[in-house]
């Protein structure tokens, strides 16, 4: 038996013992997790700096803070989410009562990427614990410092028959995916998402796929360009653009193009200074492979601003590209770096058509005060979620689910959506014995008209 098989077998025994069914026990595990994170806070922030050059502020705001909020929200609502929920009965099942109850799925696999290596591993873990599952985690090899801290922290806090971490690259992923899980929660690229889904299909294992893609921004006429530029620059260049919901490209009303580019430049300067490469608040690119990939994208249009490089520190300054080559990788692949192409349009309808002709985005950001345009975008375009007049912050609202649609993903999490993802909602009908209505039993002679009256 290899290490993974042994771990799975011990987890199965533990899960079947019923310990995780106890909601009070689950809450204790969430509290333990919160305390562990708190004890490891400095180490986690240092690891995030080592992996991605994230400042403590950014590390706390976009990683630790989000996980704390998820834990607190789950602790607050877990009693109500795990209660039996009575539902109405129907005349056809008379006499009966009915209820639904959320049940853990069993052993779940959580695979996470490197860009928010702490948050994207721990936030699904919180939901999986709350729902009563045993968990195997596979953090990304690229964010090695954070992945190691996660393993160490969790191994100290929990037994490996409950929560276990496996490290490695795609070989380890392939090995893990060959085993049977009760659910797989994968965050990463659409291409690897296809591999995950194919492997899961062999065991009929359900999957949640949190994927990516190109998330557009639309800038409508008549808006406050300065404010929009500031909010777009913030959303784009946080984590040096290595954010799944980062604005990927901007469609701007032609008459605003020049002003918008100017305001964007000013915002970048205010946030990161005139030499962002020397700014310790400005993150680095995760590794050489992604740095080289992004270098190629710098040549796919007119360099309007930025473009400075520090190959040693793997830093690329916030960069604006105008007149992007629409057939280049810049406009075909997800950019996932600090490069922002800007494309002018003449009629608002063109933006709708442009987006409809591409894969469903994970996020979409509309800057508009025009109610008709707001409704058009919200109602007519299919995308995971987004903001009107801001970027990224829809993720911060703990009351909303987060997930993609089509090639940007399937399923969702955050708050109750996470709990639901890692639970099975079981429907139970409890029949009364004091009466047994004879209608359903053969022989059916003379009963058809009554059946029609009841069911039509």
Q: Which residues bind ligand NAD (CB under 6 A)?
A: 111, 113-115, 120, 140-141, 169-170, 173-174, 187-189, 192, 195, 210-212, 244, 334, 336, 362, 404, 409
DSSP per-residue codes, 379-415: HHS--SEEEESSSSGGGT-TTS-B---GGGEE--BSH
Phi, psi (5° rounding) for residue 189?
Answer: -85, 155
Nearest CA among 283, 281, 296 for reference residue 332: 296
d(CA 403, CA 220): 26
Q: Check: CB of residue 37 under 8 Å from CB of residue 122.
A: yes
CA separation for the pair 306, 293 (Å, rounded):
17
223 or 244: CB nearest ligand NAD: 244
**CB 214, min distance to ligand NAD, A:** 9
C-beta of 348 vs 413, nearer to ligand NAD: 413
Kindly tell me which of 78 and 176 has the beta carbon lying closer to ligand NAD: 176
Give the single-character DSSP code of 98. Answer: E
Are 383 and 362 in contact by the 8 Å Cβ rule? The answer is yes
Least distance from ligand NAD to the Cβ atom of residue 18, Å: 32
Strand partners, 431: 96
Q: Which of 7, 63, 134, 244 is catalytic?
A: 244
3-state helix, strand, coil in the chain (%, to 5): 50, 20, 35
Q: Is 210 a catalytic residue?
A: yes
**Closest-CA residue to 394 (of 365, 351, 370, 355):** 365
How far apart CA 122 and CA 142 sit, in angstroms, is 17
Quick check: helix, strand or coil at residue 116? coil
Smallest distance, ligand NAD to C-beta of residue 353, A: 24
**Whole-number Å distance between alpha carbons of 26 and 82:** 11
Nearest residue (beta carbon) to ligand NAD: 212
CB of 111 to ligand NAD, least distance (A): 5
What are the backbone dihedrals phi and psi of residue 245, each rounded to the nearest 5 degrees, phi first? -100, 15
The CA distance from 238 to 259, in Å, is 22
For residue 13 the two structure tokens come to 């025994």
Judged by beta carbon, residue 78 or residue 244, the one nearer ligand NAD is 244
Q: In terms of CB distance, is 14 or 234 closer to ligand NAD?
A: 234
Catalytic residue selected from 210, 263, 334, 359:
210
- Nearest alpha-carbon partner for 214 in 30, 386, 64, 17: 386
Nearer to ligand NAD, 110 or 268 (CB): 110
Pairing of strands 302-305, 319-322: antiparallel
Closest CB to ligand NAD among residues 210, 220: 210
Task: Tell me the catalytic residues.
Answer: 210, 244
């Amino acid at each position: 038996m290899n290490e993974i098989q042994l771990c799975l077998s011990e987890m199965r025994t533990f899960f079947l013992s019923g310990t995780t069914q106890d909601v009070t026990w689950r809450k204790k595990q969430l509290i333990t997790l919160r305390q562990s994170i708190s004890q490891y806070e400095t180490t986690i922030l240092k690891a995030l700096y080592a992996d991605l050059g994230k400042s403590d502020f950014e590390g706390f705001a976009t990683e630790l803070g989000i996980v704390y909020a998820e834990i607190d929200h789950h602790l607050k609502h877990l009693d109500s989410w795990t209660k039996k929920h009575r539902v109405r009965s129907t005349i056809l099942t008379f006499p009966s009562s009915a209820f639904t109850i959320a049940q853990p799925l069993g052993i779940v696999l959580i695979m996470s990427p490197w860009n928010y290596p702490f948050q994207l591993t721990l936030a699904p873990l919180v939901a999986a614990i709350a729902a009563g599952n045993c968990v195997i985690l596979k953090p990304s090899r690229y964010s090695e410092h954070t992945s190691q801290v996660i393993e160490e922290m969790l191994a100290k806090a929990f037994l490996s028959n409950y929560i276990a971490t496996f490290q490695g690259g795609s070989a380890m992923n392939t090995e893990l995916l060959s085993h049977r899980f009760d659910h797989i929660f994968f965050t990463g690229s659409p291409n690897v998402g296809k591999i995950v889904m194919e492997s899961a299909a062999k065991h009929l294992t359900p999957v949640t796929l949190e994927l990516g893609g190109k998330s557009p921004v639309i800038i409508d006429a008549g808006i406050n360009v300065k404010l929009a530029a500031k909010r777009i620059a913030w959303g784009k260049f946080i984590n040096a653009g290595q954010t799944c919901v980062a604005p990927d490209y901007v469609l701007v009303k032609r008459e605003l193009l020049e002003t918008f580019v100017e305001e964007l430049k000013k915002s970048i300067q205010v946030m990161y200074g005139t030499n962002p490469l020397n700014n310790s608040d400005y993150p680095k690119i995760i590794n050489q492979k992604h740095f080289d990939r992004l270098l190629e994208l710098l040549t796919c249009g007119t360099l309007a601003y930025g473009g400075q490089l520090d190959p040693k520190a793997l830093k690329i300054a916030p960069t604006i590209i105008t007149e992007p080559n629409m057939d280049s990788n810049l406009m075909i692949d997800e950019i996932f770096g600090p490069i922002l192409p800007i494309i002018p349009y003449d009629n608002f309808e063109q933006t709708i058509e442009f987006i409809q002709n591409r894969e469903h985005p994970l996020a979409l950001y509309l800057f508009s005060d025009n109610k008709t345009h707001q409704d058009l975008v919200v109602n007519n375009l299919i995308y995971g979620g987004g903001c009107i007049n801001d970027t990224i912050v829809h993720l911060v609202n703990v009351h909303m689910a987060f997930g993609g649609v089509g090639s940007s993903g399937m399923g969702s999490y955050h708050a109750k959506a996470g709990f639901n993802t890692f639970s099975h909602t079981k429907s139970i009908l409890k029949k009364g014995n004091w009466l047994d209505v004879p209608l359903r039993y053969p022989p059916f002679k003379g009963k058809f008209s009554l059946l029609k009256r009841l069911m039509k």
